[in-house]
Structure 1
């Protein structure tokens, strides 16, 4: 699937394999699956002059795109490939396995039952409600709005993994996995692959518009991965997310909140809420009011995860969010197109590290 995605991206860019002269990918999951020393001979990439790894997983996938852009801007390469794939839908323990392999969690947290991301984000949701004075029914409505909006967006997308109906009543009928989180509040497990080419060329042949990276940001909170979701004293605030948003605005000359759509790393429904607030799109503790009435859906005032996100489209750790943004800005999204889309923000973490990308459409 990775090789097919890479070939499709190269074809989409209107270039050949021999034109690829740079490769950058995230640092944890991709290298063991398809390292560059196997990729290059498999596709005959004989012009590589730049190779690199970013940071781990979701934020690293987006950071690889930003680094590819920086490499092209610096003239170190002209056509930089970045790619990511995962097979957690077929086998493997997914994120739970990653967390379970961390010494502090295995030796301290897991023995007392504090095990796995659903419990971490259930704790975050409970803390959020306590911090901002939400009653249980209000927290339930907040999570329901986010999960249902993601599903409705996915139903309009031809390749979404979960397209069955999910209304408010159906959501509330689901049992808890980790209270207050139900199944629809938790990301899917998927097989999938994504590849992108960041090019110095000003336009792709035949395209009506070019999509550029207008600004990006990356920030890190000084905590190890094993400590963030269970030990950060800042939660539910996300300092790295807020810092990255400031960097994006400085580089792009545009606030994140002014984008036409938002593709956010929604590993859990509550992650969408805390990102919206850290990015300045909704006010602290006021997301429920800001998204009421389906505002996160295509056609709403804050279209978010227009393909269904990790909750309903597929769990590609943010890589699919980038391709969705590009398709939207090319006006190629078909059934879920945001009208007159000109800018899109893509963000991934949300944890000790965060990367934000602001894409802009330029008509040619």
Structure 2
């Protein structure tokens, strides 16, 4: 039986100019998450973040005032690692390696180092990822949007999906963000025509197909079911958690595959989640899908087995992903509408929905699938009401 539970969440505001260091942002989010559940910083003995995060677990521990750490880790693969941080926390708690673990992500992704710029690839120089980029960047495939555009064009060719289909997803998530006061695009919905008229970034991706660049931080507190009973907030069970790295996996550039649109890494995760949770993902109440680019959301939902290939666009057009639809997705507005904190704000939204405290509260929100970045080595979770 699953014993690890999420008991606290915290976040800073989502902005384009935070005016603070990434360490301070992470510290603010962590203190907010601990205050949310009523635990003192000294009770924390574990910390997990991503390799891309500039704040090490040790520096966060010193800044916030954690107790002695018995578990501290960093997870690979950028946006694909968000759910994996919580998975590591779950494993640590259930193995007795730590009692209370903080998972966090803080970044100045707009005012500081921007992941969408080609020059940012230089941060990988000297390792195997840097060598891989060296085979692509000279030919113009130097940014995440470029990698995604090549795959998206093939997916469109094979399934009949159009730019307007991608645009409907962007419109939907901006609609959700427009009624979420925490969202950067609060009260700023868009129309499909505005999506179609937005500038090309890399065809077939418009500007409004691409996630935001956001300053901010989010933190999550994981502890045991026994300790959760005495805390301030209703706990959320981590019913399942998994990672997936496919054969011939590349970091967003999976061109060595027989089918470049095959999101095998997501299927690897989905199979594990269903086995652990003991249910089909189609039975869950809602989904939080990592929306770095609109085409990858549709492809990821199909890889997760929620729809047959090419059919997610029809579910979108039929309104199934709306707040009152049969399978709502990203009620907070996602990365396109709320903010981009490498999936951590999606994890926090899933917790709020299951608690019943979300801005756009769903009528049915007892169970959720939460995903991390698609087209990269990835991870996912199933969360449920405790």
Same fold, TM exceeding 0.5?
A: yes
1:28-107 equivalences under 5 Å are 28-30=51-53, 33-96=54-117, 97-99=119-121, 101=124, 102-104=129-131, 107=134
The offset of 1:106, in angstroms, is 5.1
Structure 1, unmatched stretches of 5+, are none
Contact 1:13-1:204 at 8 Å conserved across structures: no
Give secondary structure in 2 for the equivalent of 1:70: helix
- The Cα offsets for residues 116-147 of structure 1, whole Å up to 9 and x where unpaired, read as 12222121111102222x1xxx4122101111
Please give the alpha-carbon distance, in whole angstroms, between the structure 2 residues aligned to 1:114 and 1:206.
Answer: 48
Q: TM-score, normalised by structure 1?
A: 0.91
Task: Please report the RMSD computed on the Cα atoms of aligned residues, expressed in angstroms.
Answer: 1.9
**1:1-364 counterparts in 2 under 5 A?**
1-26=25-50, 28-30=51-53, 33-96=54-117, 97-99=119-121, 101=124, 102-104=129-131, 107-132=134-159, 134=160, 138-163=161-186, 164-200=188-224, 201-203=227-229, 205-207=231-233, 209-223=234-248, 225-226=250-251, 228-334=253-359, 336-362=360-386
Q: Say which SS state the counterpart of residue 258 (structure 2) adopts.
A: coil
Contact 2:26 2:60 survives alignment (8 Å): no
Inter-CA distance 273–99: structure 2 relative to 1 (3 Å threshold) = farther
For structure 1, which segment, 34-43 or 177-186, has the greater mean C-alpha deviation from structure 2 after superposition?
34-43
Deviation at 1:180, TM superposition (A): 1.6
Residues of 1 paired with 2:306 and 2:202: CA distance? Answer: 27
TM-score (norm 2): 0.86
The offset of 1:274, in angstroms, is: 0.4
Between Structure 1 and Structure 2, how many residues are aligned? 353
Closer/same/farther in 2, CA of residues 149 and 227 from structure 1, 3 Å limit: closer
CA contact (8 A) 1:263 1:344 kept: yes
- Report the secondary structure of 2:271's partner residue: helix
CA distances 1:250-270 after superposition (whole Å, capped 9, x unpaired): 111122222111111111000
Gaps of 5+ in 2: 1-24
Deviations 1:283-310 (A, max 9, x none): 1111121221332221122211111111
Distance 1:62 1:152, change over 3 A: same
Q: CA deviation at 1:224?
A: 5.6
Residues of 1 paired with 2:362 and 2:230: CA distance?
Answer: 22
Once the two structures are TM-superposed, the CA of residue 109 in structure 1 deviates from its matched residue by: 2.7
Aligned equivalents of 1:84 and 1:58: distance in 2? 11
Between the aligned partners of 2:230 and 2:318, the Cα distance in structure 1 is 38
- Structure with a larger share of its residues in helix: 1
CA distance in 2, matches of 1:299, 1:278: 24
Cα pair 1:69 1:213 within 8 Å, conserved: yes
Partner Cα separation in structure 2 for residue 127 and residue 344 of structure 1: 30
Return the offset for 1:175: 2.9
Q: Deviations over 1:54-73 (max 9, x none)?
A: 22322222101011011111
Contact 1:215-1:357 at 8 Å conserved across structures: yes
